[in-house]
Structure 1
Amino acid sequence: MTAVEPQIIEVADPDPLEVGTTATTVSAKRSRVPWRFLAGRAAFYLFTLWAAVTINFFLPRMMRGDAVDQYLARNRNVSPEAADALRALLGLDTDKTLLQQYGDYLALLLRGDLGISLLHGMRPVTEVISSALPWTVGLVGFATVVSFAIGTIGGAIVGWRRGSRLDSLVPITTFLSTIPYFWLGLLAIAVFSVNLGWFPIGKAYGVGMSPEWTPEFVGQVIHHGALPVITIVVASLGGWMLGMRNMMLTVLDEDYIMVAQAKGMPNNRVLWRYAARNAVLPQIQSFALSIGFIVGGTIVMEMVFSYPGVGKLLLDATNAKDYALMQGVFLVITLSVLIANLLADLAYAFLDPRTRQTEA
């Protein structure tokens, strides 16, 4: 019998472009759900939420006066008994300590009761915020997404073609971003509304219109919102483009980009699958913050264009010392920022596994 020689099976080394970079799919061992990472993030954001709610309660009460004092200054025929009853209804009862009021506030908050707004005729705060929230989210949210998309894609292309004429877009957009927003908004109104008459001067829709899902009303909303959207995009485009362009210049010097080009991969694949995918990671965190602060709105924008959003609502509530409305708006803004950051952490961990491995 002749001995059978063992056969040696050669296994090719894995392609570093397929498994060795953060821009591609990781191995199955590392793709399991990072429960420890998620639990740590959830605990951190729950503690942050409690701290924000606590500050949200005590901070307005450090101001001089309250909503009842403001109301009594405008209505001098209110009896002292009615004023005391009004304070008790608003949670401002002087017979209770701040800690007792804080406990009552948390109990109402857990039931979803944000109180009533004296500024808006004793309407529930949830109802007041719900009527203003869609305008801010629709306008500022759409403008933020558009500016992020244009700035990120444009910055990736400018960084890829560094040294070309496209580099001139960066200083132009950066210069526009340095102009104060109120000045840019007033200039846009003077040129495009007053002189050219292309857009309305302000408001969310025309006089005499009532909110309803009709083609005429939707057209009015789009027409009135076009100029504020364009102004926000122009004012914020420079930051997105500059940040993405600088990250592209850093990523393009990495070894895996050179290896991909040496293997003869198409430029579009190297640009979008490897370079841009890694360069966009820092942009995601900034975008999450922007998405979170969308709910807060742009107070200056809403003042310049007389837009009925949450930003203007918060300003009016602060001037009137309407604690319940102030706390409700701050709470909604805080929740939106925390949720946006949590989603950004998850997206960041998905795109860059090193993040969850390090923190877990």
Structure 2
Amino acid sequence: MRFILNRLGFFVLSLWAAITINFILPRLMPGNPADIIFAKFQGQLDPASIAAMKKAFGLTDKPMIIQYFEYLRGLLTGNWGLSFGYYPTPVIDIIKHSLPWTIGLVGLATVLAVFIGTSAGIYISWKRQGFLDNTLPLLTMGIQALPYFWVALLFLFVFGFKLNWFPMNHGYDNGLTPEFSWTFFSSVLYHGFLPGITILLGSLSGWLVGMRNNMINTLGEDYVVFAEAKGVSPSRLMFTYAARNAILPQLTSFAIAIGNVVSGSILTEQVFSYPGIGGQLTNAVLLEDFPLIQSSFLLIAVAVLVANLIVDLLYSRLDPRVRTGGITNGS
């Protein structure tokens, strides 16, 4: 219980720090975002009109501390401001529309990469020096070494433009409306295949090679050798004794990967014109949409913190030494 309370306390402190930094950083930038946005209207609108537009965007000259508490109240009530680039659309509506697409695409591709890579790593480490052990790590590392946006462009050109096997943009067919039906769901899968396979291939090597190395180190431990000498079955030895302990370092990497799901694969979404948060973030930067940029970065930070909290709690269940602070001398 003490460990859980400590982790929750650290999470709350980190969350407050992320929110505060997200509030302060834009205000420490040289110049004023409002001046940048409204400079294009100088000479076209009178000062009263510009002042009215600033008020509509929620831009004020109030003291910093008052702005900070208004910012916190807005976060809690869902009032994240209006988008500069898509005025008068609220920022939270843009995120609500984009986030499910990113979570569906990048989340599913990440989970598949973790499952396939970890399972393959366990198998090839058990069959060391075999054909798969000699080829799979090199093959996957070669694919991962390629810039993933270049792989995305290659897939788009070959399978989308030349062969016309898959669509080249958007998240579903034109003419369809989002609904719970097989027609819409199959269209989403069809449109998401190329960007999904690009993300999967780009991250597969890390999971496969990492699990293989962890397994090889674990298989050399005394307790595994002793269990093998006692006649424990190969399947139980591989999964219950070796894989269960070798997979622990993977959890930390999985936390980072899950946290980064929210940010999406920005360039991949841009190449395929996919309606996810990554594409929206790119457009927000181009349009100098500061409220959308600020909210997107905060969402990414919160996702990473939540993912790390969940994995910390899960890690403590799988490895009791985490809760007790490690193994003491003489234990």
The TM-score, its normalising length taken from structure 2, stands at 0.93
Computing the radius of gyration from Cα coordinates, the structure with the larger value is 1
Equivalent pair of 1:67/1:118 in contact (CA under 8 Å)? no
Q: How does 1:16-165 map to 2 (within 5 A)?
A: 35-61=1-27, 62=29, 64-66=31-33, 69-70=36-37, 73=40, 77-93=44-60, 95-165=61-131
Give the Cα–Cα distance (whole angstroms) in 2 for the partners of residues 181 and 320 of structure 1: 25
Cα-to-partner distance string for 1:59-101 (whole Å, 9 max, x where unaligned) = 22315442564355279643322222332333321x3233332
Provide closer, same or farther for how the CA distance between residues 75 and 205 of structure 1 changes in structure 2, counting only shifts above 3 A.
farther
Equivalent pair of 2:38/2:50 in contact (CA under 8 Å)? no
Q: 2:285 aligns with which of 299, 311, 318?
A: 318
Equivalent pair of 1:141/1:291 in contact (CA under 8 Å)? yes
Cα-to-partner distance string for 1:122-143 (whole Å, 9 max, x where unaligned) = 2222211100011000000000
Partner of 1:329: 296
Give the Cα–Cα distance (whole angstroms) in 1 for the partners of residues 87 and 54 of structure 2: 15
Taking only the aligned residue pairs, the percentage that are identical comes to 45
Which structure is higher in RCO with an 8 Å CA cutoff and minimum separation 6? 1
1:218 aligns with 2:181: no
Q: 2:309 aligns with which of 315, 324, 342?
A: 342
- RMSD (CA atoms): 1.9
Uncovered stretches (5+) of structure 1, i.e. residues with no partner: 1-34
Deviation, structure 1 residue 116:
1.9
Uncovered stretches (5+) of structure 2, i.e. residues with no partner: none
Deviation, structure 1 residue 43:
1.2
Deviation, structure 1 residue 332:
1.7
Residue identity matched to 2:13 = F
Equivalent pair of 1:65/1:321 in contact (CA under 8 Å)? no
Residue identity matched to 2:273 = S
Provide closer, same or farther for how the CA distance between residues 134 and 279 of structure 1 changes in structure 2, counting only shifts above 3 A.
same
Aligned residues: 325
Provide closer, same or farther for how the CA distance between residues 68 and 217 of structure 1 changes in structure 2, counting only shifts above 3 A.
farther
Deviation, structure 1 residue 179:
0.5
Partner of 1:307: 274
Give the Cα–Cα distance (whole angstroms) in 2 for the partners of residues 154 and 75 of structure 1: 61
Give the Cα–Cα distance (whole angstroms) in 2 for the partners of residues 260 and 78 of structure 1: 80
Residue identity matched to 2:108 = F
Give the Cα–Cα distance (whole angstroms) in 2 for the partners of residues 218 and 234 of structure 1: 23
Deviation, structure 1 residue 121:
2.2
1:353 aligns with 2:304: no
